[in-house]
């Protein structure tokens, strides 16, 4: 985010606490770097400033390695500095992203960067696709038999 005084880009970390139906923004400090150590230092500092270190029981975070690294991730370092275990609430969006990435790598193999050729080709040809003629893959006679074993209704019977 852009700094207010120097107009240069700086990393900031919003630190919030919640409980008893309320949410409080504690601080949005500038971080000298995005490392787990700097993140943990900022979080624990804010908790100490607000005298909340004894009242914290869990933490919510996205699943970047700077947060989740097992040796130097912010979550582990926060627990070490507070001298207690905390309940982890990993962002479900990011957790599902990790699962999808693992499934994609298993099926398609590893990628060499953010530009996946298959998706890039699809994006480039999107403008040529007649979206008014869309039909679900499960209605196609060659696809339906492949999906049939996993198509179940809530009652446990096969979908028609």
Question: 């500092």: which residue's tokens?
Answer: 45
pLDDT score of 38 more than 90: yes
Taking residue 30's Cβ as centre, other Cβ atoms within 10 Å add up to: 12
Express each pLDDT in 101-152 by its tens digit. Answer: 888 889 888 887 778 888 889 899 989 988 888 877 777 788 777 765 555 4
- In percent, the amount of the chain with pLDDT more than 90 equals 37
**Residue 136 or residue 29, greater confidence:** 29
CB 31 within 8 A of CB 42: yes
Full-model pTM: 0.59
Cβ neighbour number for residue 39 with a 10 Å cutoff:
25
Calculate the average pLDDT of the chain: 83
The pLDDT score that the predictor gives to residue 79 is 96
Task: Tell me the mean pLDDT in the region 91-110.
Answer: 81
Contact 27, 48 (CB under 8 A): no
- Tell me phi and psi for residue 46, to 5 degrees: -65, -40
- 72: which 2 tokens? 């130097």
- Number of helices and strands (H, E) in the chain? 6, 6
pLDDT bin (cut points 50, 70, 90) of residue 49 is very high
């Amino acid at each position: 985010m852009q700094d207010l005084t120097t107009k240069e880009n700086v990393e900031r970390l919003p630190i919030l606490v919640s409980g008893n139906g309320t949410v409080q923004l504690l601080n949005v400090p500038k971080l000298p770097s995005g490392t787990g150590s700097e993140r943990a230092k900022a979080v624990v500092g804010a908790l100490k400033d607000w005298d909340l270190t004894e009242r914290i029981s869990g933490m919510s975070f996205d699943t970047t390695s700077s947060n989740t690294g097992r040796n130097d991730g912010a979550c582990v370092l926060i627990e070490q500095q507070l001298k207690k275990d905390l309940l982890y609430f990993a962002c479900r969006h990011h957790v599902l992203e990790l699962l999808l990435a693992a499934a994609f790598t298993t099926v398609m193999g590893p990628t060499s960067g953010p530009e996946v050729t298959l998706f890039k080709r699809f994006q480039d040809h999107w403008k040529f696709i007649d979206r008014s003629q869309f039909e679900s893959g499960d209605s196609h006679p060659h696809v339906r038999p492949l999906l049939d074993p996993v198509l179940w209704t809530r009652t446990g019977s096969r979908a028609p």
